Amino acid sequence: MDTTGPVERVLRGIAISLVILFFMFPIFWILLMSFQTNETILRVPPSMVFEPTLQNYRALITGRLETQTSTLEIRFMSNLYNSFFLSATSVAVGLLLGVPAAYAFARLKFRGSEDIAFTLLSFRFAPPLLVLLPLTIYFQQLGLSNTYGGLIWVYQLIVLPLILWIVRGYFEDIPADVEYAYRIAGHDFWATFWKVSLPLAMPGIAAAGLLAFIFAWNNFIFALVLASADKQPVTVGALAFVTASGIQYGQIAAGIVLSITPTFLLAILAQRYLVEGLSLGAVKG
Amino acid sequence: MSDTIRSTRRPRRFRVSRRFLPYLLSLPALLTCIGILIPFGTAIIYSLQRYRLSQPWNRQFNWGKNYVDFFYDPNFWNTVKVSMTYAFTAVTLQLLLGLGIALLLQKRTMFNNFVSIMLLMPLMTAPVLASLMWKLMTNPGFGILSHMASLIGLQDFRWGSDPKTALLTVVIVDIWVYTPFIMILLLAGLRSLPKQPFEAAALDGVPRLFVFWRITLPMLMPFLLTATLFRVIESIQQFDIIYAMTQGGPGNTLMVFQVEAYLNFFQATNVGRSAALLLILWAITYVLSSIFIKNWLRLREKQRGEA
Amino acid sequence: MYDKEKTLADAFVAKKIDRRELLRGMSALGVTTAMASVLVNASATRALAQNGFDWKAHEGTTIKLLLNQHPYTDAMIANLENFKELTGMDVQYDVFPEDVYFERVTAALASRSSEYDAFMSGAYMTWTYGPAGWIDDLNEYINDPSKTNPDYNWEDVLEGVRKSCAWNGQPGGELGSADAKQWCIPLAYEQNNLTYNQKVFDAAGLSVPTDLDSLVETAAAAKAAMGGNNYGIGVRGSRSWATIHPGFLSGYSNFGQVDLTVGADGKLSAAMNTDVSKTFHAKWVDMIQNSGASDWSTHTWYQVGTDVGAGRSAMMYDADILGYFMNGPGNAEAGNLAFSAFKANPDAAAPTPNIWIWAMAMSSFSTKKDAAWYFLQWVTGPEHSLFGAREMDLVNPSRASIWADDIFRAKLSSSYQGYVEMHDVSAPGASIKFTAQPLFFDLTTEWAATLQQMVARQVPVDEGLDMLAESVNRQLAEAGLR
């Protein structure tokens, strides 16, 4: 594997540059846009030369958007908070429910285990729109509409299958010997689970949690239909810059940058786990 | 018999819970999700009705008529075709690209780790917002991509607004957003492969292409299947990107299931047809996923046997 | 708190001093122009409070509104304190982006939520909400003197606009008929006319088109004159019913064409494939292919407006208020846009613009309907409309008295060339030209999709229209309307 010739190294270099260009250029462009006014963004032809301005970020953070005619109140920061709160809580709940279940499916083969596992995954198969309308009606009757609780429950449909699937694979690949040895030493099941199995599976759990967080963060349709204005996440909130009197591209760009930042920081923090954690067979080595 | 002997050595507390333990661990998750079956059931009932919110007096059971009508409806078959084409094209390209990138970044170096995290950024951009940005970048006037296309001689490339290139355009956005998901899963897979078979192959001087086809790919299969499973489910149910880019147009070029169902429901308020459409989508997803999961389980069993 | 300011404002309202004197006096007291407007209006509100109507009947009640993010909403919110003071009520509101607004309304109403007492609606949407039983007939309130204040002056609302919000619920039933229910009350409305770039027209020596043929020619000439990526005429083209309702239907109906015909038996049938219609479609399609935007099929309100504001298109045949917004600061072509009423048919007597109406409707699930009505009559009443029109962007106001207001006319004429004249010419013929019926959104969206196919040359115009008519008739029959 280490015997790479110079030609191959050059080819690899070109390939990786192209990949970075394709995936990072739009991000770079968005970043540039976030420091421009609408007028410079809409120039023909587009240009990279402009006088940077912080007005987009200022508008988002202070919550006041000065347009030509009036001052608009924007709730972007509270949208950002909602996104964070909804995603983090949903993932926490998802982990709490999903990790023990994943362990059960991986370790304790029991009657109906595959059926239950498949059923859990299959909740992901239902198109979101299918359940959405009846759900609004039931939420109304149950008093769940417009509550964080109701949303977090619905978000389980997004996060739980993903967590289950990844963490289960991870547990399956941790050799059972370690746990067995600990148990022989006289510890009961819960102690073993808590002290041995969980720490061993930590990278997998972290990685699954992060991916689930991203998918929860990016969700659009559930929150749109089920939550009122004060509970909306950024995916809906950012559309507020598409106004009848014009699209505020600069603010949308700044909004995207701000909405990527928390997840990106999280990814950097979890960097070590992220790749290793998804390596189902990491321990097998 | 051996069970009873072993259990006598264990603390009593543990033995009692042994039988219920797996259920204790897995049922909370199941019970949390099971509630969704109620709206699901309601949706099935809707799909068997002639039900339009704007004509409440017409509401009645028409049993399978919504489904039978699809059979004769060219728009429905167009929807099936477009959804399948979209999912197949997007997922195939993403798999190839994701695998390629994962192979490039396989070695554990600071640079590679850094790049792999950077490449996750598109995945962190919500598809709704990503589509808005791509729409701006492909605008014929001030769009940077249209400008670049004209520099390389594509003077009048119309991206999402031309039926000939609309599918390509939304697939590119889909690739941009979701390839990182496949890349990260496959990268993890590659890095977890055992070293011995590769070392042995290298010693024997086996050609690298052969190693890739006969060792790397088969061992990577569970990862490929997992990645494909989640991507197939999502791309056949694609909504955000297509709706934001073209609303299913031009004409009926990009009328996929969820976009059609969304318009049926929110605009036409034709609840019955919308629900029937989505149930068919659900059935397609169910069948496809079952095939994947069966293969996944079989593969894992086989690998466990080898290990 | 603002005693001196109040005195000044009262003097202004009583016409003792003029606007300039008022503002000078106010600025001497350290009050900004915006603040002054609200204060002026506070005194107008005090005048309203003394009209003998029991404004305080619902004191202490809180109502909640569902609103679309829009300049009309800005005007409403800016003036809200005055309503609270007038009635002693509290008002809460949820504002949603326009892109997703109607999804929210449908979700809230379909689940029979009592959260919102009143909400903003388009007139077309009430053709769904009304028959679905989600909104109330407001005639009961308007015609009840114990519920409506004596200065409300309902007859002041332009007839075409007022009637366009009323429908008897019968598929094909005439809007504003004697048995019609008033499903909503207009806040303000849009006419579809020409907005053109005066600078471009002057440079290329073009004159304002007067009918469809000259529109096609002028668009082509403008495109040739502008060169580059620019184009001659902006019209909407996305796969949505909203592509049909602005310029397209306004021109179409000017030729006496309709979407559906209503038979003597009340049955509906498609009317888009007449010979006149085919000619009109062919010209329209040709115009887009030759001088429209290259990405026309994704053009919504936003793109059509942005391009004319950025100087990429020479003109647009769309909502007049879109041109109004694009002529404001922050746009490259601010101040260069001019307006003209447009009559597509050379033989027609006057323009017949189709209109879009932002209106207020009352939720049937509200538990505080009488209180909500207090808000509705205030926000659609002459006093708030005047405030919105003069001080905010509540254009086009739907009340004749506001159009007669000199300050408002002067404000428009000073920076929006030809706007007032355009409105005066086309307002008498302005109304909704669609046939009210439950399948409005599906059928009209299909119409737009067919138009896209014609422009993309996937189907010839004649054949496309015959197919469309056939499909429309089939769907009408399925829904029991044919």
Q: How far apart are CA B252 and CA B273, in angstroms?
A: 18
C465 and C273 Cβ atoms separated by less than 8 Å: yes
A271 to chain C, closest Cα gap in Å? 36
Give residue A113's identity as a one-letter amino acid code: S
Per-residue pLDDT, averaged over B151-172, amounts to: 89
**What pLDDT sits at residue A189?**
84
The ipTM value here is 0.90
Per residue, what are the HEC states of chain A?
CCCCCHHHHHHHHHHHHHHHHHHHHHHHHHHHHCCCCHHHHCCCCCCCCCCCCCHHHHHHHHCEEECCCCEEECCHHHHHHHHHHHHHHHHHHHHHHHHHHHHHHHHCCCCCHHHHHHHHHHCCCCCHHHHHHHHHHHHHHHCCCCCHHHHHHHHHHHHHHHHHHHHHHHHHHCCHHHHHHHHHCCCCHHHHHHHHHHHHHHHHHHHHHHHHHHHHHCCCHHHHHHCCHHHCCHHHHHHHHEECCEECHHHHHHHHHHHHHHHHHHHHHCHHHHHHHHCCCHHHC
- A236 contacts in chain C (CB < 8 Å): 96-97, 100
Whether C103 sits inside 8 A of A68 (CB atoms) is no
pLDDT at C12: 67
- Asked if residue A58 lies in contact with residue A124, where contact means CB atoms within 8 angstroms, the answer is no
Residue of B nearest to C99 (CA): B244
CB-nearest partner of B56 from C127, C132, C295 = C132
Instruction: Identify all chain B residues contacting C131, using CB atoms and an 8 Å cutoff.
Output: 54-56
Task: Test C438 with B54 for CB contact under 8 angstroms.
Answer: yes
Question: What are the tokens at A100?
Answer: 């023990």
Nearest C-alpha in A relative to C333: A39
* Separation CA C117–CA C374 (nearest Å): 11
Q: Which two tokens stand for residue C265?
A: 């038996």
pLDDT digits (tens, 9 = 90+) for B51-97: 999 998 889 999 899 999 999 999 999 999 999 999 999 999 999 99
What is the distance of C-alpha B4 from the center of its chain? 47
When comparing pLDDT for B18 and C385, which is higher? Answer: C385
pLDDT at position A62 over 50: yes
Going residue by residue through chain C (482 aa), what tens digit of pLDDT does each one get? 456 666 766 766 666 666 666 666 666 665 655 566 676 677 777 778 888 899 999 999 999 999 998 999 989 998 999 999 999 999 999 999 888 899 999 999 999 999 999 999 999 999 999 999 999 999 999 999 999 999 999 999 999 999 999 999 999 999 999 999 999 999 999 999 999 999 999 999 999 999 999 999 999 999 999 988 899 999 999 999 999 999 999 999 999 999 999 999 999 999 999 999 999 999 999 999 999 999 999 999 999 999 999 999 999 999 999 999 999 887 889 999 999 999 999 999 999 999 999 999 999 999 999 999 999 999 999 999 999 999 889 999 999 999 999 999 999 999 999 999 999 999 999 999 999 999 999 999 999 999 999 999 999 999 999 999 999 999 999 899 98
Does any CB of chain B come closer than 8 Å to the CB of residue C453? Answer: yes
Preceding omega of C139 cis (within 30 degrees of 0): no
The shortest C-alpha distance from C10 to chain B (Å) reads 48
Scanning B148-167 for CB atoms below 8 A from A yields none
Burial class of residue C370 (count of CB atoms within 10 Å of its CB; 0-12, 13-18, 19+): middle
B189 touches A: beta carbon within 8 Å: yes
Q: Tell me: the pLDDT tens digits for C111-120?
A: 999 999 999 9
Whether C3-190+357-429 shares its CATH topology with C191-354+433-478 is answered yes
Q: What is the pLDDT of residue C167?
A: 97
pLDDT of B306 reads 61
Say whether B25 and A108 touch across the interface (CB within 8 A).
Answer: yes
Within 8 A of B179 by CB-CB distance, chain A residues are: 23
**Shortest alpha-carbon distance between residue B72 and chain A (Å):** 23
| Interface residue B267 vs chain C (CB under 8 A) | yes
Sign of CA dihedral B280, B284, B290, B296: negative
Does B162 touch chain C if contact means CB atoms closer than 8 Å?
A: yes
Record: contact A243-C98, CB cut-off 8 A: yes
Nearest to B53 among C132, C238, C480 (CB): C132
CB-CB: which of B54, B138, B156 is closest to C131?
B54
For residue B9, name the pLDDT band (cuts at 50, 70, 90): very low
Fold of C191-354+433-478: D-Maltodextrin-Binding Protein; domain 2 (3.40.190)
pLDDT band at B12 (very low <50, low <70, confident <90, very high): very low
- Interface check for B266 against chain C (CB to CB < 8 A): the answer is yes
For residue A192, pLDDT over 50 is answered with: yes
pLDDT value, residue B292: 86
Is pLDDT larger for residue C381 or for residue B222? C381
Quick check: B243 contacting A, CB < 8 Å? no
- d(C-alpha C166, C-alpha C126), whole Å: 9
Rounded Cα distance, A115 and B40, in Å:
19
Spell out the CATH class of B47-306: mainly alpha
Residue C101: C-alpha distances to residues A140, B267, C237 (Å): 19, 12, 20
- C245, C301, C439, C442: best mutation site toward chain B, by most B Cβ within 10 Å? C442
Given a cut of 90, whether residue B108 has pLDDT beyond it is no
**∠ CA C25-C26-C27 to the nearest 5 degrees?**
95
What is the C-alpha to C-alpha distance for residues C55 and C47, in angstroms, rounded to an integer?
12
3-state secondary structure C78-105: HCHHHHHHHHCCEEEEEEECHHHHHHHH
Contact status, residue B233 vs residue A125, Cβ threshold 8 Å: yes
Out of C106, C296, C297, closest to residue B269 by CB: C106
Burial of B57 (0-12, 13-18, 19+ CB in 10 A): exposed
Give dist(CA C418, CA C337) in Å, integer.
Answer: 10
Q: Please tell me if residue B163 touches chain C, with a CB cutoff of 8 Å.
A: yes
| Contact criterion met (CB < 8 Å) for A69 and C71 | yes
According to the model, what pLDDT value does residue A4 have?
67
Among candidates A23, A116, A134 on the partner chain, residue whose Cβ is nearest the Cβ of B42:
A134
Asked if B43 has any chain C CB less than 8 Å from its own CB, the reply is no
Mind telling me how many Å the CA of A81 is from chain C's nearest CA?
17
Q: Say if C460 is an interface residue toward chain B (CB within 8 Å).
A: no
Structure tokens of B136? Answer: 């701006």
Which chain C residues are within 8 Å of B243, Cβ to Cβ?
none
Contact by Cβ (8 Å): C59, A57: no
Q: Give per-residue pLDDT as tens, A73-106.
A: 778 899 999 999 999 999 999 999 999 999 999 8
**Bridge pairing between strands C268-270 and B49-50:** unpaired
Q: Give the number of residues written for chain B.
A: 307
Tell if the CB–CB gap between C442 and B163 is shorter than 8 Å: no
Residue C452 to residue C464: CA distance in whole angstroms: 10
Minimal CA separation from A66 to chain B, in Å: 22
Cα distance between residue B142 and residue B139, in whole Å: 6
Nearest-CA distance from B66 to chain C in Å?
Answer: 11
Dump pLDDT digits (tens) for A132-147: 889 988 998 898 888 9
CATH superfamily of C3-190+357-429: Periplasmic binding protein-like II (3.40.190.10)
**This model's pTM is above 0.95:** no
B251 touches chain C (CB under 8 A): yes
Candidates B26, C133, B75; CA nearest to A114 is B26
Chain B 64-83, residues with CB within 8 Å of chain A CB atoms: none
Domains and CATH numbers, chain A: 6-73 (no CATH), 76-284 (1.10.3720.10)
CA B111 to chain centre: 29
Q: Which residue ranges make up each domain of chain C?
A: 3-190+357-429, 191-354+433-478
Sequence-ordered strand ranges (E) for C295-354:
313-319, 337-340
> What is the nearest CA distance from A10 to chain C, expressed in angstroms?
39
Q: What is the number of alpha carbons within 13 Å of residue A82 lying toward its C-beta?
A: 27
> Got the DSSP string for C340-353?
E---SSTT-SS---
Q: Which chains touch A (3 or more CB pairs under 8 A)?
A: B, C
